[in-house]
Amino acid sequence: MTSKLTFLGCGDAFGSGGRFNTCFLVETPKTQFLIDCGATSLSAMKRAGVDTDSVPLIFITHLHGDHVGGLPFLLLEAALVQKRTAPLTIAGPPGLSAHLPRLTDALFPGTPLELPFELSVLELSPDLPAVVAGVSVTPHLVKHAPTLVCTGLRFRLDDPHGNKVLAYSGDTVWTDTLPTLARDADLFICDAYTFDQPSAQHLDYATLRERYAELGPKRLMLTHLGQAFLDRMAVGETPEFETAEDGLVVTF
């Protein structure tokens, strides 16, 4: 088995194009894990036939709802419906541990989060390599929301065909940490909310095309496309790089 990634959800915060919020399933010969778990992720997982009970590990890039809002739904279903017993680890940026119970209470007031399984919530320090449940990851600071710690993630994955590097920008504008994230990655998934219109919080395709040589990945895929970007594609403006779609499976 080679490593593969399923775009369970690759949309923006607003469901543009009917797409689910960000949620990627990574499967390697040794493990599987989610990257982000936006508000619609439980529905996306069920549509794709993913056994939610079998996912041992979730990585979170930042604390916006379209990247973390699905966690209360997933946890409560695991406790109340699935009667999960297998442990679960959630790793993300500083602030995650305090945010998760607040988020759950906001969405399900009066419903205590009493879990019949072991839940470990780990906060990853930016720019420090870590090994989480056997997965090697380095979070790098990116620029998205000034009051939050927002990160991109670079993974080094064991693979019988040689170690693979998977990288994801998270939500960000252009920042000097992006080449560090992307350089020589077997697959680099990058935010591209707009086609060529500058955004205060997100990258645009035109900037990525202009600065691609600085990134230097082996393969680049665009995600988090907004409605204006999708509209441009609908009239035949095709970007030079691959674009994600919900349900798309890629190997790397």
156-215: per-residue pLDDT in tens? 998 777 789 999 999 999 999 999 999 999 999 999 999 999 999 999 999 999 999 999
The CATH number of the structural domain formed by 4-251 is: 3.60.15.10
Q: Is the pTM of this model over 0.85?
A: yes
Whether residue 158 lies in the annotated active site: no
Interior/surface letters 161-183, b for 16+ CB within 10 angstroms, e for the rest: eeebbbbbbbbbbbbebbeebbb
Q: Which string of DSSP letters, residue by residue, matches 67-78?
A: HHTTHHHHHHHH
> Counting beta carbons within 10 angstroms of the beta carbon of residue 228, is it exposed (0 to 12), middle (13 to 18) or buried (19 or more)?
middle
Q: Please report the pLDDT score of residue 158 as a whole number.
A: 86
In the sheet that holds 57-59, the strands lie side by side as 119-123, 88-92, 57-59, 32-35, 23-27, 4-9, 249-251
Active-site option among 12, 36, 66, 186: 66
The pair phi, psi for residue 152, each rounded to 5°, is -100, 160
**What are the tens digits of pLDDT across the range 76-92?**
999 999 999 999 999 99
Residue 2 has pLDDT above 90, yes or no: no
Q: Which residues pair with 122 in a beta bridge?
A: 91
Please answer whether residues 62 and 149 qualify as being in contact, where contact means their C-beta atoms are separated by less than 8 angstroms: yes
Q: Please report the pLDDT score of residue 139 as a whole number.
A: 98
